[in-house]
């Protein structure tokens, strides 16, 4: 969330930067809210001072001449204070609602544009496979090798759910273990086990609410509202909500493997086949928290850690810098890692690594204190490291053979009981 005075001080610059990401900032409306709230607060302060004066006069008179008049005046002032305090709360709530709807400012380094077609490619790693046969879709490969059962998933829960069985379930478990071991043993992350049901305040802290309410699954039991997390970024970042972090503890590097739940509102008709876009999936998430001046270096580190997962698995991928109009609500800069899918003949996003600056920390109240004792807000970063389903889809498609078998990445073999090849069962 933004500090309103910072947006007003930037003025037309803030308007222009937010316009790059297709958000119209109404400076006049913001200025009016800030002015009205300030004037109301000043009026309340003056009335409180007047109330204190009248209280002192009433004590001095102690029932003497004029005491009734003073008491009447004191009651009138208290009534005015109550009315103005109600107005003050209304204006504060309205200002908060206004600011919660304003996305983060995109970094000036980002290219213009609103779609993935406007992204700037930074590098490609690995050569996309060439086949002397028509490459098969991962859903077909999953079913023919017996590791996916999509029809039964639909019977259980409807569209956009998946069931893995046998080696499929083991592959998912093995991938999660591989990613977690890599991130904790070699990349220096601390693994957490976190709730997948969180409060509205937790969702608001990282920017999911109120903007993306339609994309979230919600449950209400016993008068209590809780949301299913769309990513472990939500609980991991909010672990430190309302806290002031010691500079010697930074940067923090956190990871967790969790189920993730997304309603995917507005995406119906996209990727309906297979396991690329599900309502429920699992993912290993990476979160880093640091001082603002370190955020860009931490983003490079985070990106390398996510890429390393694909390098170790030998999967062909590319990394792109997203344009200003295509980054997430809380991000100021985002790199997408896209893995090659032979059946589609294109690269598809498998990880987004974002620098959110102090945007989330302001919403969640995550502060730092420098060595001179001065407080400020932390910077937060997040990225997938990696989603299990999309990684499995890439393994199936890039490892497929003409006979319908799938060769598994060598690095993954120790995590799946030594199995090197998935053989077709039908």
Give the helix/strand (H/E) hosting 28.
helix 27-61
Q: Would residue 262 show up in a list of annotated catalytic residues for this protein?
A: yes
Q: Return d(Cα 176, Cα 22) in angstroms, integer.
A: 36
Out of 17, 20, 21, 390, the active site residue is 390
Q: Are strands 197-198 and 224-228 parallel, antiparallel or unpaired?
A: antiparallel
Q: Is the peptide bond before 251 cis (omega within 30 degrees of 0)?
A: yes
Of 276, 271, 239, residue with least CA distance to 255: 239
Does 390 qualify as catalytic in the annotation? Answer: yes
Burial of 94 (0-12, 13-18, 19+ CB in 10 A): middle
Report d(CA 203, CA 196) in Å as an integer: 11
If we measure between CA atoms, which residue out of 263, 207, 280 comes closest to residue 238? 207
Q: Is the dihedral of CA 55, 61, 64, 66 positive or negative?
A: negative
- Choice among 330, 352, 354, 384 that is catalytic: 352
**What's the pTM?**
0.93
Helix (H), strand (E) at residue 228: strand 224-228
| Total number of residues shown for the chain | 426
Active-site residue, selected from the candidate residues 262, 288, 362, 363: 262
Catalytic residue among 294, 349, 367, 405: 349
Q: Is 349 a catalytic residue?
A: yes
Instruction: Please indicate whether residue 352 is annotated as part of the active site.
Output: yes
Structure tokens at 324: 């200003």
Quote the distance between the C-alpha of residue 99 and its chain's center: 17
* Catalytic-role residue among 48, 124, 277, 348: 277
According to the model, what pLDDT value does residue 163 have?
Answer: 96
Per DSSP, the chain holds a count of helices (H) and strands (E) of 12, 16
Three-state secondary structure readout of 68-109: HHHHHHHHHHHHHHHHHHHHHHHHHHHHHHHHHCCCCCCCCC
Closest-CA residue to 256 (of 191, 185, 177) = 191
- Tens-level pLDDT at each residue, the chain (426 residues): 899 999 999 999 999 999 999 999 999 999 999 999 999 999 999 999 988 888 788 777 766 666 778 778 888 989 999 999 999 999 999 999 999 999 999 999 999 999 989 999 999 999 998 999 999 999 999 999 999 999 999 999 999 999 999 999 999 999 999 999 999 999 999 999 999 999 999 999 999 999 999 999 999 998 899 999 999 999 999 999 999 999 889 999 999 999 999 997 655 666 778 999 999 999 999 999 999 999 999 999 999 999 999 999 999 999 999 999 999 999 999 999 999 999 999 999 999 999 999 999 999 999 998 877 889 999 999 999 999 999 999 999 999 999 999 999 999 999 999 999 999 997
**Residues with Cβ within 8 Å of residue 42, at least 6 apart in sequence:** none
Q: What is the DSSP letter of 150?
A: H
What whole-number distance in Å separates Cα of residue 321 and Cα of residue 331? 12
């Amino acid at each position: 969330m933004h500090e309103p005075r910072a947006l007003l001080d930037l003025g037309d610059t803030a308007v222009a930067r937010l316009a790059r990401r297709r958000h119209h900032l109404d400076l006049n409306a913001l200025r009016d809210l800030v002015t009205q709230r300030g004037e109301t607060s000043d009026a309340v302060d003056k009335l409180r001072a007047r109330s204190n004066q009248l209280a002192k006069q009433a004590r001095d008179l102690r029932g003497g001449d004029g005491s009734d008049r003073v008491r009447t005046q004191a009651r009138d002032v208290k009534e005015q204070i109550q009315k103005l305090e109600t107005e003050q709360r209304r204006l504060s709530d309205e200002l908060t609602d206004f600011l919660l709807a304003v996305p983060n400012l995109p970094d000036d380094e980002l290219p213009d544009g609103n779609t993935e077609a406007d992204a700037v490619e930074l590098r490609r790693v690995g050569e996309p496979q060439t086949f002397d046969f028509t490459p098969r879709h991962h859903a077909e490969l999953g079913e023919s090798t017996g590791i996916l059962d999509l029809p039964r998933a639909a019977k259980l829960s409807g569209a956009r759910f998946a069931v893995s069985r046998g080696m499929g379930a083991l592959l998912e478990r093995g991938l999660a273990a591989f990613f977690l071991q890599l991130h904790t043993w070699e990349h220096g992350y601390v693994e957490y086990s976190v709730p997948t049901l969180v409060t509205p305040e937790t969702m608001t802290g990282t920017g999911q609410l109120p903007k993306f309410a339609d994309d979230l699954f919600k449950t209400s039991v016993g008068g209590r509202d809780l949301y299913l997390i769309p990513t472990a970024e939500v609980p991991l970042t909010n672990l430190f909500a309302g806290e002031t972090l010691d500079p010697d503890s930074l940067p923090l590097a956190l990871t967790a493997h969790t189920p993730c739940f997304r309603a995917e509102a507005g995406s119906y008709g996209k990727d309906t086949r297979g396991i690329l876009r599900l309502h429920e999936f699992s993912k290993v998430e990476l979160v880093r928290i640091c001082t603002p001046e370190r955020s860009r270096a931490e983003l490079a580190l985070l990106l390398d850690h996510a890429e390393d997962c694909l390098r170790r698995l030998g999967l062909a991928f590319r990394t792109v810098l997203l344009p200003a109009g295509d980054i997430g609500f809380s991000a100021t800069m985002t790199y997408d890692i896209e893995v090659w899918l032979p059946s589609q003949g294109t690269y598809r996003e498998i990880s987004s690594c974002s620098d959110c600056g102090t945007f989330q920390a302001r919403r969640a109240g995550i502060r730092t204190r420098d060595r001179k004792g001065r407080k400020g807000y932390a910077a937060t970063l997040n990225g997938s490291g990696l989603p299990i389903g999309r990684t499995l889809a890439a393994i199936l498609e890039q490892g497929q053979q003409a006979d319908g078998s799938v060769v598994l990445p060598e690095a993954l073999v120790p995590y799946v009981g030594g199995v090197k090849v998935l053989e077709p069962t039908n």
